[in-house]
Structure 1
Amino acid sequence: MFAVSTSFRQAFVDRTDRIETFESALDGLMEITADLGFTQVLYGYLPTPARLPNGDWLPLKLNVRNFPDDWEDEWRQFMTVDPYYRACFDGTMPLEWTEVQRRAGLSDKQRAACDYLNDYGLSRGITVPVHLPFGRFAVVSAITDRTAANWTEIREHARAPLHWLTHAFTQFVLDRGLEDQIDTVHPVALTPREIECLRWASAGKTSADTAIIIGRSVETVRLHLKNAIRKLDACNRAQAVAAAVQMGLI
């Protein structure tokens, strides 16, 4: 267990006391991590398990502060392979980016993700995962760009408070009910009708039952379910329902 000073804990309480939105909370997180010597910070949250039943990874949306303006233009291609994100599921302790970058098992695309951030000067950071009940997941990464010359000192002294801060911040977000304000990415775009039909299917309704409930023909309901099954890369409606539930779509 990392030891963190009482003054640091109190500073967090004082800075978050009147915060009512996630965006304001993220601003506060940037201020606190800046005091530790970091120049950028990001927060990610998944309200469902990170991996689908078929083994695919859900994309992790990074909510950032003080990143370069155009950094996200090409980042979407890396949202499911992000090596720092993937490394979070190897344990619960803070991860130093340079250690992740040296891992022998990184794929070419993961190395490309590191290079992409490196090109923006974002190569030195610490990532702290939070594994929550029911498979939910949160993460904070605090980064120092090229303007910070004292990375060794920052890394040495910031590891413990950053670990505590990540867990305290996540608990604060959940306690204040701010998780619904966090920007996340759904990998599958279902129409309202497809979601409605899946929701009734999850309740055990047949296509005929659902047709009566929503005032459409049985053929239309079956078409909506067929489209949802295809979009979710499922084999049948039961798999589609399970995937939609895991993604938080229903």
Structure 2
Amino acid sequence: MERATDFSSALDSLMEVSADLGFTQVLYAYLPRPARLPNGEWLPLKLNVRNFPTGWESGWDKFMRVDPYYRACFSGTMPLEWSDVQQSPSLSSEQKAACDYLNDFGLSRGITVPVHLPGGRFGVVSAISDRTCGNWASVRETARDPLLWLTHAFTQFVLEHGLEDQIDTVASAALSPREIECLTWASEGKTDADTAVIIGRSVETVRMHMKNAIRKLETCNRAQAVSVATQMGLITSSSR
């Protein structure tokens, strides 16, 4: 990994080492903020993959929030075997459909290792052995501990080299710059009238931007919108 100059080449290295352990596919995902919003909704998890079958991503969007392997990561810190997740009696019909979707592409045998970071940040590696792997039982037995170490080493490398900004994530809400600006001033305790003076617009215009932001964030009022936008990382103290 020390030869890697960016996230893409680091992920190539992760695949190379994972292949040496007997895996045929690997993925890495990262969230720079807590996975769940104050209203309980899960943020979608964008998977950065290597060696996945062609076409797998076209139908995956609808499973990003219900991904059962993603959800299972928040029940502990140790590696998760996919078969255990698939057999869980608590899986919803949507989560079972997500497993079936990956199974149809031959992606049913894997190990997922979560990394829970300070501030609610989250990283995860899943290493998979598809149907071409004839010795899954051996891979599962011998690769579990090395994969745990590898996941933490990879995440540490990404963070220490400042590569996290290069990792593809899913934008949770498309707020306009003006909507973000109005939310930011609201987070500073400013009223709509205060914000109107600060940004040089009418009070009605500020209210319109706030209403749009509340709607896009699927919240009920300005206070909730500010809270959700802050947790999503859409507004910070340096946004203005």
| TM-score category (smaller protein) | over 0.9
User: TM-score, normalized by length of structure 1?
Assistant: 0.92
Gaps of 5+ in 2: 236-240
Residue 180 (structure 2) pairs with residue 171 (structure 1) = no
Q: Which residue of 2 aligns with 1:100?
A: 85
**SS of residue paired to 1:87:** helix
Q: Which residue of 2 aligns with 1:236?
A: 221
**In 2, Cα distance between equivalents of 1:196 and 1:68:** 42
Q: Which residue of 1 aligns with 2:238?
A: none
Q: How does 1:1-250 map to 2 (within 5 A)?
A: 16-250=1-235
TM superposition shift of 1:147: 0.6
**In 2, Cα distance between equivalents of 1:89 and 1:191:** 32
**In 2, Cα distance between equivalents of 1:241 and 1:192:** 15
Task: Name the % identity.
Answer: 75
Letter in 2 for 1:80: R
Q: Is the 8 A contact 1:186 1:247 kept in 2?
A: no
Letter in 2 for 1:59: P
**In 2, Cα distance between equivalents of 1:29 and 1:131:** 19
Letter in 1 for 2:99: C
User: TM-score, normalized by length of structure 2?
Assistant: 0.96
Gaps of 5+ in 1: 1-15
Q: Is the 8 A contact 1:63 1:183 kept in 2?
A: yes
Deviates more, 1:227-236 or 1:153-162: 227-236
Deviations 1:57-76 (A, max 9, x none): 11000000111121010100
TM superposition shift of 1:17: 1.5
Letter in 1 for 2:130: D
**In 1, Cα distance between equivalents of 2:118 and 2:151:** 16
**In 1, Cα distance between equivalents of 2:159 and 2:109:** 28
Letter in 1 for 2:7: F
TM superposition shift of 1:217: 1.3
